[in-house]
Amino acid sequence: MIISGSVVKYGDNIDTDVIVPGKYLGITDYEELGRHALEGIDPDFSSKIKQTSILVVGENFGCGSSREEAPVALKYAGVKCIIAKSFARIFYRNAINIGLPIVVCSEASEKLNDGDMVTINLAEGVIINTSRNEVYRTKALPGFILEILKDGGLVAYLRRRLT
C-alpha cells in the first residue's frame, strides 16, 4: 500500500478526549464526527487536513479512552495516514481495525514538518520526504495487519474469512 500527501503536524500525548470530546460520542454520522476531529487543540483541523491528508504527531498519540470514534473521526476528517513516534495501544488497534493506516517512525516524526510532501510505502516500511529528498525507514507492518488494512478494516477482513 502506497499513500501520498502533505503533512500537518502536532505534538506529544494527544489524548482521545481532545480527538473526540465525550459529548460527541454516540453520533453515528461519521462525516459529522469528522468535523469535530481534534477541535480541542485546533478548531481548523478538519479544514486543514482536507488539503494535506498526512497527520504527523509525537509520542503516545491517542492515549486515553478506548473510543473507536477517535480514529473514525480522523479518517472521516480526511486523514489518509498517521505517522507517530509512538501510539497508545488501544488507539493503534482501533486505527487498524477501522482501516486507517498508521506508521511508527521516530525519525519521520521528528524530521517531517508542516507542508512537507511525503510518500509512504506500508509494506516496505519506507517514508520518502519528497520536499527535502530524505528517506526514513521503519519496521514494515506484519502481513495480517496489512491484509486488514487492504480489506478496509477488521469487519471486512472477518466477513471475507468467516462467511
12 binds another protein, rule: CB under 8 A: yes
Rounded CA-CA distance 72/139 in Å is: 24
Which residues fall within 8 angstroms of residue 15, CB to CB, at 6 or more apart?
62, 63, 64
Is residue 15 a contact residue for another protein (CB under 8 A)? yes
89 contributes a contact to another protein by CB under 8 A: yes
Establish if 59 lies at the interface with another protein (CB under 8 A).
yes
User: Rounded to an integer, what distance in angstroms lies between the CA atom of residue 109 and that of residue 116?
Assistant: 12
Which residue number, 7 or 96, has a Cβ lying nearer to another protein? 96
Rounded (10°) angle between helices 89-97 and 143-151: 50
**Cβ 117 to another protein shortest distance, Å:** 29
Instruction: Tell me which H or E stretch contains 106.
Output: helix 106-111
Q: Beta partners for 2?
A: 121
Query: Cβ of residue 8: shortest distance to another protein, in angstroms?
Result: 19
Binding footprint of another protein on the chain (CB under 8 A)? 12-13, 15, 17-18, 21-23, 25-28, 40-41, 59-60, 63-69, 86, 88-90, 93-94, 97-98, 142, 144, 153-155, 158-159, 162-163
